[in-house]
Every structure is written in structure tokens, then in C-alpha cells.
Structure 1
Amino acid sequence: MSPEQLAAQLRHPNGEDGNKVADNMDVRNRPVILAAYQALAPANGDRILEVGPGSAGHLPRLLAQANNLHYTGLDASRDMVLRARERYLGETRAAFIHGELTQAPLAPASMDRIVAINVVYFWQPLLPALQVLNLLLRPGGTLVLGFRDHNSMASLAVFKHGFSTYHGPELQQALEQAHFTNTPLHTFAEDSVDVLGETMHKQSVILTARKPQEATP
């Protein structure tokens, strides 16, 4: 698979290649996924939205963090939605829906917490996507973004095809523009082999934000 083909599969996994990419991402992204879930810190009964979960390989870890959670996975890949539904058939706490974030078939203020891991690269333009996330959160709700920073990604061929990369502080500023507050940023180092077989020295970022209790005028 060429870097351009792999980039397309990372954006919208489909077919047998998409399944292989999704399985690889479940393994290779495990540290940042689990760190983002931990930062989300759900409370009992919370309604959680995950944007771009793919086939949601680590969902059981999230559902084990609190009681009576209500999880919705929104993914732009129809194949991933179908695969996740099959994977978690009978799991009454989880639902998976197909759609783009900016046209999400979800009610305003319907979520207590939202998490999005390694998908911020595809939100172009960025601000409208962040504004939708703000709209979907209840007042006082929490957003967690997990991603690898610009220096970890920019030199790799696959990330030159339709990815926007970030250092972190510019995302904090964009979140403030979208009327989020309290945006702490945590980083940690990872060393792993990427999907092209190259060793990556990565810096992962966990960015947490809150929607104010009172709506911003």
C-alpha cells in the first residue's frame, strides 16, 4: 500500500485493507487511546461520544471506568460502523452511527463527555468542527483530544496526504475560539514501529477542555 493509499484508509477505512489498518491502529495507538480514556474520567451514568472510533477495539476499557455509561461512536466510515456494531452485538451500553462530525445526527447538549483520538488531523477547517463539539456537549461537559504532535508526524510520507498536524498550543487557542475553557495539555513520549515499518519517536498529546457552565454570549 502506498503512503497515499494508506492515508486514504486512515481517513476512511474500507474493505479488507481498511480492516487491516483498523486492527493495526488498535495496537499501535493503544497508549494514546488509553491515556485519552483515562483523562476523560467518566462518572456513573455519563453519556459519552467518541468521534472516529473505527472498530472501537479498546471500548471495554472505557466502559469499565464507571457504571451505567451510555456510549455513542460516530464514524465517517460506514464499514467501521458496521464492523463495530458486529463486534459489540448485544452490548446495550454502546451504539454506533455513521456520519461526519459537522453533520452529526445528534441533539445539542446531549453528551456529558466527548473524546476524539487521532482524528483532529482530518478536521479541515478546524474551527467549525470544534464548534460542533461544543454544541453537542452539555454545559460543564468535558472534551478530550488525543493525538501525536507535529514533530512526530510531519516527516513521514503518509502524513503528507491530507493531514493537518499540530504542536498543541495552537489547538488550545482554537478551543478557546470555540468557547471552551480550562484547556490543560499533557504530553508523553512513545517509541514504536509505524504502519510502514519505520521506528517512530513520538510525542503524544492529551488535551482536555471544558464547556462553561454558562453559555458564552
Structure 2
Amino acid sequence: MTPEQLAAQLRHPHGEEGAEVAANMNASNQPIIANTYAALSLQGGDRVLEIGPGSAGHLPTLLAQVDDLDYTGLDLSEDMVKAAQAMHESQPKVRFIQGDIVEAPLPDNYFHAIVAVNVVYFWQPLAPALKAIWQHMAPGGQLCLGLRDRKSMSSLAVFQHGFLTYEGPDLLQALEAAGFVQPELKYFKEDSISVLGEIMHKTGLVVTAHKPEDQP
């Protein structure tokens, strides 16, 4: 695949190539997924929305954090939704739906936590996606975003095709402008194999924020 073709598959995996890309992402994204999941403050029975889980290969890690989570995975790719459903069909209170967060068929003021890993790059423009997340989040709910910083993303040509990158503080400002409170930013270093099979020395970011308790 050309860098442009790979970028399109990263955004919307489909077909045989998409399945291969998804498998590679499950492996290469393990550190950032683990750090993002660990930043969630969950309680038993919480309703969690994950945006862009792909085939959801790391879902058992999340489900093991607390008992009785109610999980919804929302992904643009119908192929990824089918793959995730097949992988996790035996899990109670787990479901996957196809759609875009900006127009997702989801209830308002519902989710206690919303998480997205390596997805924020595709929310262009960013504001409508944050508005939709706010709409579907319960008052007091937590948003948790995992991503790599701009320098890390600029190291491979594939990320020059349709990726909007961040340094961290700029994303915090966008969250505050959207009404979220208590924004926090954590950095971590990681060395991993990229989707092109190359070793990458990267800086991961985990950004968290909350919807105020008194906001509908």
C-alpha cells in the first residue's frame, strides 16, 4: 500500500487489507491503549462508550478493570464492527454499532465514560465531535483520549495524509472551549513497531476531562 492508501485504511479499515491493518494496530497500539484505559476512573456498572475500537482486540483489558461494565463500541467501519462482534459475542453487556460520532444513534446524557485511542486525528473539524461527545455523556462523566504527539506523528509519511495532530496543550484548550472541565494531560514514552513494521520512538499523550455535574 502507498502511504495514502494506508492512511485511508487506518481511518476506515475495510476488506482484507483492512483486516491486516487492524491486526497490526492491535499490536502496535498496545502501549497507548493500556495507558489510556488506565486513566479511566470507572465504577462497577458504568456505561462506557469507546469511539473507534476497531476489532476491539484489547477490550478484555478494559472489562477486567471493574465489574459489570456496560460497553458500547462505535466504529466507522462496518467490517470492524462485524469483526468485533464475532470476537466478543459471548461477552454480556457488550455491543458494537457502526457510525460516526457526530451523527451516532446514541442516547443523550447517558455514558459515564467515553474513550477514544488514536482517533482524535480524524475529527476534522474537532468542535462538532466534542459537541457530540458532550451530548452523549452523562453529567459528571469522563472523557479520555489517547494519542501521539505531533512530532511522533510527523516521523512517517503515512501520517501526512488526513491526520490532524496535536501537541497536547492545544487539545486541552479545545476541550475547555467545548465546556469540559478539569482537563489533564499526561505524557509517556514508548518504543513500538509502527503499522509499517518500523521501530518508532514516540511520545504518547493521555488527555482527560469531565462534563460538569450540573450540565445536561
Q: Which consecutive unaligned segments of at least 5 residues does structure 2 have?
A: none
CA distance in 1, matches of 2:145, 2:69: 19
Output the aligned Cα RMSD.
Answer: 1.0
Note if 1:72 corresponds to 2:64. no
Q: Which amino acid aligns with 1:81?
A: V
Provide, for residues 101-156 of structure 1, a one-character-per-residue CA deviation record: whole Å limited to 9, x for no partner: 10010011110000000000000000110111111111100000000000001231
Where in structure 2 are the equivalents of 1:23-102 lying within 5 Å?
A: 23-102=23-102
Where in structure 2 are the equivalents of 1:191-206 lying within 5 Å?
A: 191-206=191-206
Q: Which amino acid aligns with 1:3?
A: P
SS at match of 2:182: coil
Note if 1:105 corresponds to 2:102. no
Note if 1:138 corresponds to 2:138. yes
Provide, for residues 163-184 of structure 1, a one-character-per-residue CA deviation record: whole Å limited to 9, x for no partner: 0000011100000111000011
Q: Return 61-70 or 191-200, whichever deviates more.
A: 191-200
Percent identity among equivalent residues? 56
Question: Do the aligned partners of 1:69 and 1:93 also contact (CA within 8 Å) in 2?
Answer: yes
Aligned to 2:119: 119
CA distance in 1, matches of 2:199, 2:186: 23
Aligned to 1:149: 149
1:199: Cα distance to partner?
2.3
CA distance in 1, matches of 2:58, 2:155: 28
SS at match of 1:215: coil
Q: Which consecutive unaligned segments of at least 5 residues does structure 1 have?
A: none
Q: Which amino acid aligns with 2:187?
A: T
Q: Return 33-42 or 67-76, whichever deviates more.
A: 33-42
Aligned to 1:164: 164
CA distance in 2, matches of 1:192, 1:140: 35
Q: Which amino acid aligns with 2:94?
A: A
Aligned to 1:209: 209
Q: TM (normalized to structure 1)? A: 0.97
Q: How many residue pairs get matched? A: 216
Runs of 4+ in structure 1 off by over 6 angstroms are none
1:200: Cα distance to partner?
1.3
Question: Do the aligned partners of 1:41 and 1:65 also contact (CA within 8 Å) in 2?
Answer: no
Question: Do the aligned partners of 1:48 and 1:113 also contact (CA within 8 Å) in 2?
Answer: yes
SS at match of 2:33: helix
1:204: Cα distance to partner?
0.1
CA distance in 2, matches of 1:139, 1:89: 30
Q: Which amino acid aligns with 2:51?
A: V
Q: Which amino acid aligns with 1:198?
A: E
Q: TM (normalized to structure 2)? A: 0.98
1:196: Cα distance to partner?
1.7
CA distance in 1, matches of 2:191, 2:62: 24
Q: Which amino acid aligns with 1:77?
A: S
